[in-house]
Amino acid sequence: MKILDLITISLITGIIGSLTGVISLVWHVKNNRPKVVPKYHTGFIDLSGTGKDMQHIFSINFSNPTKHRIVVSSAGISFKNKNYLHFIGNNDGFPKVLLQGDSHVVYRNIDFIKKAIDENGSPNYVWVRDATGKLYKGSVRKMIKNVEAMYKVKHNKK
């Protein structure tokens, strides 16, 4: 092999190594950010623990899949008409500190959510805001259908 061939091979190897290092650094920085995952659910909750006091509810469950400590300050629903429904009450537990793998649930009576949807129209997303002001969005796919179905179950409408 000639010296020129060795220099070319070394140069190519160095460029590939540098690119791999930069890609690895960008991947690490991008995937190591604080993150909260909000999801909505409809269902029942037994407030008494006896099975006799079942409440029909809409809930926002949010979890922390990262290694970061995140302080969540509020949660709610954003509507397409630019209105926001905030879940901030005495029993919601805000501010809520989420450590790695922690989750928390806030909920409202299904009648309250049905009324909000009737007044505001289609929802855009469920959201959670942390103490720094960062907004985390969750899907509302089939929310209207699920809320209406739960509302009908509660009021025994066929």
Mean pLDDT of the 92-110 span = 94
Question: Given a cut of 80, is residue 34 above it in pLDDT?
Answer: yes
**If one looks up domain 37-154 in CATH, what number appears?**
2.60.40
CA distance 94 to 143: 24
CA distance 147 to 110: 7
Global pTM reads: 0.78
Question: Given a cut of 60, is residue 158 above it in pLDDT?
Answer: no
Mean pLDDT of the 71-89 span = 93
* pLDDT band, very low/low/confident/very high, at 38 (cuts 50, 70, 90): very high
- Least Cα distance to 42 among 108, 92, 131 occurs for 108
DSSP character at residue 45: E
* pLDDT band, very low/low/confident/very high, at 157 (cuts 50, 70, 90): low
* pLDDT band, very low/low/confident/very high, at 78 (cuts 50, 70, 90): very high
CA distance 156 to 42: 16
